[in-house]
């Protein structure tokens, strides 16, 4: 055989091989590539996140309780104070003068009471003397009356004894009236003393209000005034009426906002992991202690009940998480206003069937049956028949299950019932079993995938995505 014939045969073989390879490549290219995953059994935790700020459970604005100039300011922002500690003083010249004047009036009243008490004793002694004299005059009168009946004395002597007896009796009555008068004067002066002492308590209260004291152990978070400034009373949140803000940092909370779609899953007592932007790497444990009932507009933070506009914007709800068992150094690190994120555990189930969230799709099962019967490409008349009455169309959630039919790997839509949702996986209650292989991506493929479509596994892209993410 000549060299020319050998070359022609070789060329022919190469051409046939190229044709066969092209046909195979076209067939392979027409097969849809999908990322796959399996139904696995694992522990699943469902969490809801909210962002907000650190706040003490209890904090007060220590307001001015007396009008005047600040003479002493004993604390500054950031100081820790104990309950009862003096925070500030306001000038107290007038209250002190009022207290001193009233104290003098009280002393005078007590002196008068002592004088009236002595007068009562004198009146008592006078009464005793009058009673003794009356008794003597009564005896003289009785003897004179007996002698006069026996005509042993003159009538003049009898009348003299009788008059002396009447005078002694009148004297006793007069002195008894004087004693009653002395008692009344003493009681009146005691009432004046009680009145003066009550007024003095009010004066002491006014004087005490020139001194501001800490209502509890706490941290001074804001001092908007300085020594020498004049403060006023009774004007809430007005400039000059607030001396400082005191926060009780023994109980610290994270006040966060949770999206309205998640608030139905939040309940009192649920545990939470709290992180603070200023303290990276630290996670604080806490529990939900308050769930707001008022929806808050996301743009303004105003409650919808107080808003005058009818905008249909996104809304949040306030949730308060109380931090548990904080160490001493954490109490020093956590400051009011620090940005924080709370991840609240709303559900937790052990060893349940789960699938990746991205595998879920919404489909009409009736249409999927039509696609499955025609290798993923339904006839036009079938499509027309299935879509004639759109009101009968019922969309369900489900996944595409991989099935090996006739030696070909096909995607088959299967409706599923789901439960709690984790960060990347979701619980499957029905429709699948453990180790079932399903289509998990990619998004563009899942969007257009139909039942009966021939597919092939291509998890390389998914693996690359995981590596880049990690």
Residue 391, pLDDT above cutoff 90: no
Q: What does the alpha-carbon distance between residue 340 and residue 55 come to, in Å, rounded to a whole number?
A: 10
- Measure the CA–CA gap between 431 and 439, rounded to whole angstroms: 15
β-strand pairing of 242-259 with 315-323: antiparallel
pLDDT band (50, 70, 90) for residue 28: very low
Residue 387, pLDDT above cutoff 60: no
User: What is the per-residue pLDDT for 469?
Assistant: 46
10 pLDDT band, cuts 50/70/90, is: low
| pLDDT value of position 283 | 92
- What is the per-residue pLDDT across 129-182, written as a single tens digit (0 to 9) for each? 999 998 998 898 888 888 888 888 888 988 898 899 899 999 989 989 998 998
Lowest mean pLDDT among 13-27, 397-411, 439-453: 13-27
Reported as a pLDDT band with limits 50, 70 and 90, residue 64 is confident
Specify the pLDDT at position 12.
66
The predicted-structure confidence for 200-257, as pLDDT tens digits, reads as follows: 999 999 999 999 999 999 889 889 999 999 888 866 556 668 899 999 888 899 999 9
**Angle CA 457–463–469, to nearest 5:** 145
Q: What are phi and psi of 31, to 5 degrees?
A: -80, 130
Q: Rounded to an integer, what distance in angstroms lies between the CA atom of residue 133 and that of residue 172?
A: 9
Task: List pLDDT tens digits, range 272-327.
Answer: 999 999 999 899 999 999 999 888 888 887 887 776 666 677 889 999 999 997 77
- Distance set, CA 361 to CA 34, 206, 406, 422 (Å): 14, 73, 26, 17
Other C-beta atoms within 10 Å of 65: how many? 17
Is residue 328 pLDDT above 80, yes or no? no
Looking only at the bridges linking them, the beta strands covering 425-430 and 339-356 are antiparallel
Query: pTM of the full predicted structure?
Result: 0.64
Domains along the chain?
30-44+355-469 (2.40.420.20), 94-208 (1.10.287.620), 253-348 (2.40.30.170)
Mean pLDDT computed over 329-342: 85
Asked if residues 56 and 249 have their Cβ atoms less than 8 Å apart, the reply is: yes
pLDDT band at 46 (very low <50, low <70, confident <90, very high): very high
Nearest CA among 397, 418, 401 for reference residue 354? 418
**Would you state the pLDDT for residue 200?**
93
The 10 Å Cβ neighbour count of residue 86 is 13
16: pLDDT confidence band, cut at 50, 70 and 90? low
- For the chain, percent of residues with pLDDT exceeding 90: 51
Q: Which residues, including other chains, have CB under 8 Å from residue 329's CB and lie 6 or more apart?
A: none
Q: Which residue has better confidence, 354 or 334?
A: 354
């Amino acid at each position: 055989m000549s060299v020319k014939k050998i070359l022609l045969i070789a060329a022919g073989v190469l051409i046939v091989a190229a044709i066969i390879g092209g046909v195979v490549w076209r067939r392979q290219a027409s097969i849809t590539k999908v990322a796959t995953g399996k139904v696995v059994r694992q522990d699943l935790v469902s969490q809801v996140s909210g962002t907000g700020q650190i706040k003490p459970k209890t904090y007060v604005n220590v307001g001015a309780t007396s009008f005047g100039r600040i003479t002493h300011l004993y604390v500054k922002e950031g100081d820790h104070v104990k309950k009862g500690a003096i925070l500030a003083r306001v000038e107290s010249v007038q209250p002190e003068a009022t207290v001193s004047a009233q104290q003098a009036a009280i002393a005078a009243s007590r002196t008068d009471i002592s004088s009236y008490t002595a007068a009562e004793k004198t009146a008592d002694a006078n009464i005793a003397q009058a009673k003794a004299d009356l008794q003597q005059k009564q005896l003289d009168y009785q003897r004179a009356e007996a002698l006069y009946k026996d005509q042993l004395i003159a009538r003049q002597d009898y009348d003299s004894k009788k008059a002396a007896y009447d005078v002694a009796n009148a004297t006793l009555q007069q002195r008894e009236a004087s004693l009653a008068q002395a008692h009344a004067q003493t009681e009146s002066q005691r009432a004046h003393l009680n009145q003066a002492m009550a007024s003095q308590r009010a004066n002491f209260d006014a004087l005490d209000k020139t001194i501001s004291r800490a209502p509890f152990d706490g941290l001074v978070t804001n001092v908007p005034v300085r020594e020498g400034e004049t403060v006023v009373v009774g004007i809430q949140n007005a400039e000059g009426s607030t001396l400082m803000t005191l926060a009780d940092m023994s109980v610290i909370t994270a006040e966060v906002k949770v999206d309205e779609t998640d608030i139905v899953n939040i309940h009192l007592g649920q545990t939470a992991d709290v992180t603070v932007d200023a303290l990276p790497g630290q996670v604080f444990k806490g529990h939900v202690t308050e769930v707001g009932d008022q929806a808050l507009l996301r743009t303004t933070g105003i409650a919808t009940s107080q808003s005058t506009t009818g905008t249909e914007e996104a809304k949040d709800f306030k949730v308060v998480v109380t931090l548990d068992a904080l160490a001493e150094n954490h109490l020093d690190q956590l400051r009011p206003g620090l940005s924080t994120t709370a991840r609240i555990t709303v559900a937790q189930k052990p060893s349940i069937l789960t699938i990746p969230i991205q595998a879920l799709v919404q489909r009409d099962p009736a249409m999927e049956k039509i696609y499955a019967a025609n290798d993923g490409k339904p006839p036009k008349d079938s499509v027309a028949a299935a879509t004639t009455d759109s009101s009968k169309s019922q969309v369900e959630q489900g996944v595409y299950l991989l099935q090996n039919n006739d030696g070909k790997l096909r995607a088959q839509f299967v409706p599923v019932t789901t439960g709690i949702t984790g960060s990347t996986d979701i619980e499957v209650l029905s429709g699948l079993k453990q180790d079932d292989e399903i289509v998990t991506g990619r998004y563009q493929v899942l969007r257009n995938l139909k039942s009966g479509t021939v597919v092939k596994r291509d998890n390389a892209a998914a693996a690359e995505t995981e590596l880049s993410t990690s």
